[in-house]
Amino acid sequence: MDIAALSRDGFARFDLSRVPSPCFVVDEVAIERNLSILADVADQSGAHILLALKAFSMFAVVPLVDKYLSRTSASGLYNARLGRNKFAGMVSTYCAGFKADDLDGIIALSDHLIFNTPTQARRFAEQLKTARNRDESTSFGLRINPEHSESWTEKYDPASACSRLGTPIIQITDADLDGIEGLHMHTLCEQRLAPFQRTWEAIENRSATWLPGMKWLNLGGGHHIIMPDYDRDGLTELIQNIRERYSIDVYLEPGEACALHAGILVGAVLDVAQNSMPLAITNISATCHIPDVIEAPYRPEFLDEVEGDTTTRIGGPSCLAGDVIGDYTTAHPLQPGQRIAFLDQAHYSMVKTNTFNGVPLPGIALWNSETDDLQMIREFTYGDFLERLS
């Protein structure tokens, strides 16, 4: 099942004029497809799979998430509140640095709380002791750095030299694990089974003496489990082996995989110009609406791109010279007023939008590609922009 082709073909049937511009349109059929695959892996392997809210936190699809996963992972106080108040099931919270003022609230909201370093866990020892005395059931964990790199770019490699994420496994002592009931690692990015297998092989011997004393092991996100070429049988076998060998609960927390190829960002051409090549100014901004275009960087796929001679550089309306989404070839020259769309925008783009330059936030719509039902979930106004300022 080629989910990228399914998404492209499905949204090719969607009338882009049905929603305001700009607007995210999420296909609930695609979301359910992804979640059902993840749920099947959980059932077959015995792993617990969590939705990573940092990647996709559209609580309008809570009924689907709760039907298949019923668990979320958070990245701080606000994510933890969202996971607890809007979704069902457990909440697992990791942050590279917790604020003392936030910690009591996070403990109360979280089933698992994962520290980045043993020194941070020791610094908050009194708060943890107080929480236990209040009969808080939160289980505390530690993020490890496997010191084994599989990332395709050093910029986003949590296991690279000088990484701030997790404690290098070679530095961890038995004393560091006092009061720790789980270990967490996250080193993958949009990857298949083989990099995960190699990472596990790299750390198993080092952690084998600790794992029997742990309650759980969180193997993080970055697993592209729902892709057609992912060896899900191999993943199931590996997780079963870990669970049986160490009598431990295993967790995975994919975020992108929950919403991969499940949404588009609809926009409109505002103006066209010529400067060594055709240029199109749109109301979709790279810096405001798809910041990974600049940060990663990457080139999002265009809904109507074809092979041909009419290549146009598409950019946003902001004053940032680098607010460029990419160069795209279309069957006909783009025209002012024309609707356009970029594919695979449900994950990360929606949670990272901002209002730099006063650029409006995109609306959010939920579409059913089988029934063609469309719900306008949210439209943002000047008030939303104003309330973020002083």
Q: Is the separation of the CB atoms in 350 and 24 below 8 Å?
A: yes
Q: In this structure, which long-range contacts are made by residues 82-90, counting pairs with CB atoms below 8 Å and at least 24 apart in sequence?
A: 82/53, 82/57, 83/53, 83/109, 84/109, 84/110, 86/59, 86/62, 87/51, 87/59, 87/62, 88/62, 90/48, 90/50
Angle 40-44-50 from CA coordinates, rounded to 5°: 55
pLDDT (0 to 100) of residue 125:
87
- Cα-based distances in Å from 154 to 158, 191, 276: 8, 15, 34
pLDDT (0 to 100) of residue 342:
98
Report the C-alpha gap between 325 and 110 in whole angstroms. Answer: 38
Domain ranges of the chain: 3-26+262-386, 46-259
Q: What is the pLDDT of residues 368-379, one digit of tens each?
A: 999 999 999 999
Q: Is the separation of the CB atoms in 114 and 98 below 8 Å?
A: no
Q: What is the pLDDT of residues 206-231, one digit of tens each?
A: 888 899 999 999 998 888 899 888 89
Q: Class of the 46-259 domain? A: alpha beta
Q: In this structure, which long-range contacts are made by residues 6-13, counting pairs with CB atoms below 8 Å and at least 24 apart in sequence?
A: 6/30, 6/33, 6/261, 7/261, 7/262, 7/343, 7/344, 8/301, 8/303, 8/343, 10/369, 11/264, 11/303, 11/341, 11/343, 11/369, 12/303, 13/369
Q: How confident is the model at residue 155 (pLDDT cuts 50, 70, 90)?
A: confident
* 161 pLDDT more than 90: no
Q: What is the pLDDT of residues 20-43, one digit of tens each?
A: 999 999 999 999 999 999 999 999
The answer to whether the predicted template modeling score (pTM) of the entire model surpasses 0.85 is yes
Share of the chain above pLDDT 90, in %: 76
Fold adopted by 3-26+262-386: Lyase, Ornithine Decarboxylase; Chain A, domain 1 (2.40.37)
